[in-house]
Structure 1
Amino acid sequence: MTDFVLATAEPTTMLSHLALYGLAAIVEDSGLNGVRLSWTAGMTPRPVLSAPDATPETVGEIVRRHAARHDTPESWPSRQISEGEQRALMSPRISGISSSEGWRSLQDRRHHVLNRLTDARALLDLRLIAALGEPSYWSKNRKGDRLQDDGASRLEMQPRNQGSEFVGNRIRPLAAAIAARTAVAVSDGLLGRSARDEIGKDRPDSRTPTGFAAPGPTDNAVAWCALWGISQFPIAQRTNGFAITSGHLGRGTSGYFYVPVWDGRWRTARHRSIVASEQLSQFASTGLSSDSTGRVSDDDVSSGEAARQWLVKRGVTAVVRFPVHRFGSDSAPERRAMLGALLKTGRR
């Protein structure tokens, strides 16, 4: 096995975890065999992608080609809600659609994209789109006002000021930036040998992390992989209220994100199953009130212990929990995953 280590990725930063998940998903989707995810041992663990052929040149070229494929006029990120406007068709949160005709057009165009991706067997693309969610035409408040954002993943934290949206303002520019790099430049960014924030122009207040880390210059290859890491967190839509997002505790846009840390090398499918498990969610809520997590209060200590034991048997050594804070104005708030805290399972 060849190890590809994201050497500057801190485990207390949500961006580091998402970058590993997205990188593994992209590399595996390319056809590379034997892809595994793990963490280095020691006091400063780092995320690791492993595969027999995971050389820097191979991984860099796979990620570059992946971005280039999404930087074409025919790709789904390039599709617009309607002709003559820039809003991306596949963004889960967009400014309001007022008419029934507008909603029918939106759904017809989205279904056309999904059908094309299904015919092409583009599993990772479909997985990301499904995990991001969609504008909610079905959710309304007591006044009958439509709550469009209720169908979106809580991991989609692109601020909505001045009409910004996730696909048009993050996926599209990042795809162009990575497609313009060499394979070596892509792998250097992922390995931590260099850091280039093309879309953020290396500004000290760059929003390239898109809520997964504090504002600041962020290598665009790391950011690209992190956004695709959302694909590994499925959501469940509800007729009333926000969609339930794997890896999130809390009501609405508040609460906490959580991810596992483990011993050994995991397949991506194993990781997805653990992330979506009730046991991980239950253990992540340890010590939190029901008001802050949105979970029903559970006074049964044995059920929490059962969840811990379940995780230990599957190699989970700890859960990292990230509080979600809001910044900026009420009309266009910016959400951000703060530094995480480790909850150890007791596995050695």
Structure 2
Amino acid sequence: MSVVISADATDAFSHLLMVGLASILEDANPDRVCLFRWLDDLQAFEIKTNDDLDIDQISKVVSEHAKRWSQSLPLTSQDDYTVSNESDKPSGAFHATMSPRLSNLGVPYGWEKLQRNREAAVDAMETFGDYRYFGALGQPSYWSGEQTNHSLRSDFGASRWEMVTRNKGQEFIGGRLFPLAQKVAARPIGKVRDGLLGTTIEDEVGGNKAFSRAATGLHAPSKTDNARAWCALIGVSAFPTRVTTIGSEMSRDSSAAMFQIKGPIRFAILPLFDQYWTTAKYRSVIRSEALAQFGIQQARFRGDQVMSAASDWLEEKGVPACCLFNQFMSDNKSAPERWLEPGEIIPVKQME
């Protein structure tokens, strides 16, 4: 039995919805294997499991996943991490412990408290999927900075897929993921099903407004069903963040399949495939050197032939084409807003 979910291959949100839904289903049962693929018109994907879940059963798993996470320590843990000493008066600015980007952290006490609380939240995680997700999301960096002025760049340890705009103290876990989990957990199973299928669009966290930020940068602000948004944000678990150092300086870490090259070249590259893939295969392809090389060359030199080794490898793995998504960034210098624009489908092999 397979289930068809409406989607759009030129929308990065749809890609993460697909792999996020499969990840949630597999995480609920260690013996479960999901298979998924794009359909020919690229306006839907097909998903099925080895235990033949139907759409109502799939919806129940998604609901239970949101309920468990809405009550979990990784989502509910918060504290004031701005104080520098234990005797300092608290500022009252509480932030979620597991958010990968936090500002104004107190040195040293705020950092020490954050690390203690993060370790407790990690110890409270229940499944391998929990560990994979928060590992991919990253953490505030205590190792990144600029040697010339001794400044710490705590954002440099976070996933580039986490695109919450940093204004008015906003942060990802407390401001986006936790409220989303609560809204999906509160839905009847039927409404979760209708949202997943795309037959209805209920955007509770965004107030059903046309410019909702529920998708959190996976596409431009728009009314987005929250059950689909929950799955799409869980899809970030497939894209690990790499910790890097360059010489004596530190640079912003890269996340699988999303890159920034010398300023204005910001993009994500995602594979298209019409044969059934597992989540394990998807993760192996999106973190591959071949996909990175293909995306970087296409982003830099549109229309030029990409190196044959990368194309050959992708074709061998069953990737006939990729979708390249440019990242929009607003001109607000203090808190720029980012999202992935509609993508361009590019064959991995150019016509002779």
Fold conserved between structures, TM > 0.5: yes
Q: Secondary structure at the match of 1:285?
A: helix
Q: 1:261 to 1:93 in 2, by over 3 A?
A: same
Q: Which moved more, 1:107-116 or 1:304-313?
A: 107-116
- The AA in structure 2 aligned to 1:175 is A
Kept in 1: contact 2:290–2:313 (CA 8 A): yes
Q: Which runs of 5+ in 2 are unaligned?
A: 82-91
Match of 2:34 in 1: 35
Answering whether residue 141 of structure 2 is matched by residue 136 of structure 1, we say yes
Q: What does 1:106-255 correspond to in 2, within 5 Å?
A: 106-117=114-125, 120=126, 122-141=127-146, 142-239=148-245, 240-251=250-261, 255=266
Residues in 2 aligned to 1:182 and 1:328: alpha-carbon distance in whole angstroms? 41
Residues in 1 aligned to 2:155 and 2:48: alpha-carbon distance in whole angstroms? 37
Match of 1:321 in 2: 324
Residues in 2 aligned to 1:75 and 1:100: alpha-carbon distance in whole angstroms? 24
Q: Secondary structure at the match of 1:217?
A: coil
Q: Secondary structure at the match of 2:46?
A: strand
Q: Secondary structure at the match of 2:96?
A: coil
- CA displacement at 1:116 relative to structure 2: 2.8
Q: Tell me the alpha carbon deviations over residues 98-146 of structure 1, each in whole angstroms, 9 at most, x when there is no partner.
A: 31111111111111221232xx4x2111111111111011111221111
Kept in 2: contact 1:284–1:343 (CA 8 A): no
Q: Which moved more, 1:155-164 or 1:328-337?
A: 328-337
- The AA in structure 2 aligned to 1:262 is F
Q: Secondary structure at the match of 2:307?
A: helix
Residues in 2 aligned to 1:284 and 1:92: alpha-carbon distance in whole angstroms? 25
Residues in 1 aligned to 2:161 and 2:97: alpha-carbon distance in whole angstroms? 19
Q: 1:289 to 1:181 in 2, by over 3 A?
A: same
Answering whether residue 291 of structure 2 is matched by residue 280 of structure 1, we say yes
- CA displacement at 1:328 relative to structure 2: 5.1
Kept in 2: contact 1:36–1:50 (CA 8 A): yes
- CA displacement at 1:85 relative to structure 2: 4.8
- CA displacement at 1:222 relative to structure 2: 0.7
Kept in 2: contact 1:133–1:152 (CA 8 A): yes
TM-score (norm 2): 0.89
Residues in 2 aligned to 1:158 and 1:252: alpha-carbon distance in whole angstroms? 22
Match of 2:271 in 1: 260
Aligned-residue RMSD, C-alpha: 2.1
Aligned length: 332
- The AA in structure 1 aligned to 2:143 is W
- CA displacement at 1:285 relative to structure 2: 2.2
Q: Which runs of 5+ in 1 are unaligned?
A: 293-298
TM-score (norm 1): 0.90
Residues in 2 aligned to 1:75 and 1:65: alpha-carbon distance in whole angstroms? 16
Q: Tell me the alpha carbon deviations over residues 59-113 of structure 1, each in whole angstroms, 9 at most, x when there is no partner.
A: 10000000001112x4310000349654100000112213111111111111122
Q: Report % sequence identity.
A: 35
- CA displacement at 1:287 relative to structure 2: 3.5
Q: Tell me the alpha carbon deviations over residues 150-200 of structure 1, each in whole angstroms, 9 at most, x when there is no partner.
A: 111110001111000000111111111001111121111011111100010
